[in-house]
Amino acid sequence: PGRVELSPSSLEGWTHRLAEPLIRVHAVEAEGYAWEYYPYIKLSNLEPPGWSAHPEHWETAIEVVGGPRPEARECFIHRDYHPNNVLWKEERVSGVIDWVNSCRGAAGFDVAWCRLNLAQLYGVAEADMFLGAYSSLVGTDFEYHPYWDLIAIVEILPGPPGVYEGWPAFGVNHLNGEIIRERLDQYISSLVARL
């Protein structure tokens, strides 16, 4: 029981609580689990998008994701962890839904996928807030690598990106394609700066 909450009273507290379920998910050993993470797009055919004001940052992202993956401990991952798949009751997470894409993979991808959604919904600062919350909760068991953020963001190519239909369905009505494109450009610029 619970409901999707996209307009919390405190984004800082909300992002911290949003990170908490992932700690438990990623603690599950996935050895022998039949499904393994893979990108949903063909990495060899990617090109910087024409809709971006910063195609050079997308070019860098494409080069990075075309290279080797960083070493990471495999664990159970949700694969589609984002605010629309988290239920809340009385400002606490009451459930996580939509497990159809769960698989073995790097915890960094779940963190990255959620960050991508947060960057589009709210902005780079909120995506970074989530990373900080997850990192503080998991401690030394997690080493951040921008590769996972970059592979998550290139999955939206070729675009142009639009407003995910689940956001207005839950009351987020101020977004449009232009805002999403601007936020994605800001986000990819911040990711390239982390390399």
User: Residue 47 falls within a domain, yes or no?
Assistant: yes
Q: For residue 5, is it within any domain?
A: no
Whole-angstrom distance, CA of residue 26 vs CA of residue 110: 9
- 141-157 b/e (C-beta count within 10 Å ≥ 16 → b): ebebbbbbbbbbbbbbb
What is the pLDDT averaged over residues 25-31? 96
| Residue 127: pLDDT band with limits 50, 70, 90 | very high
Tokens standing for residue 50: 């024409």
Q: Any idea what the CATH number is for the domain that residue 95 is in?
A: 3.90.1200.10
Encode pLDDT of 85-111 as tens digits. 999 999 999 999 999 999 999 999 999
Give the pLDDT mean for 143-167: 97
pLDDT at 100: 98
Residue 1 predicted with pLDDT over 90: no
Taking only the tens place, the pLDDT of each residue in 106-124 is: 999 999 999 999 999 999 9
Residue 133: per-residue pLDDT: 98
> End-to-end CA distance of the chain, in Å?
41
Number of domains comprising the chain: 1
Contact yes or no for 77/37 (Cβ under 8 A)? yes
Is there a domain that residue 141 lies in? Answer: yes
Residue 113: give the domain boundaries. Answer: 11-193
**Burial (CB count within 10 angstroms: exposed 0-12, middle 13-18, buried 19+), residue 58:** buried
Q: Is residue 143 part of a domain?
A: yes
Please provide the average confidence, as pLDDT, over all residues in the chain: 97
Q: Is residue 6 part of a domain?
A: no
Per-residue pLDDT, averaged over 12-29, amounts to: 97
pTM passes above 0.95: yes
The contacts of residue 130 (CB under 8 Å, 6+ apart) are 15, 18, 19, 111, 114, 115, 118
CB atoms within 10 A of CB 116: 23
Instruction: Please give the pLDDT value at position 102.
Output: 98
Q: Residue 109 falls within a domain, yes or no?
A: yes
Q: Is residue 3 assigned to a domain?
A: no
- Give tens-digit pLDDT for 163-189: 999 999 999 999 999 999 999 999 999
The reply to whether 105 falls in a domain is yes
Residue 141 reports pLDDT greater than 90: no
Mean local confidence (pLDDT), 120-138 = 98
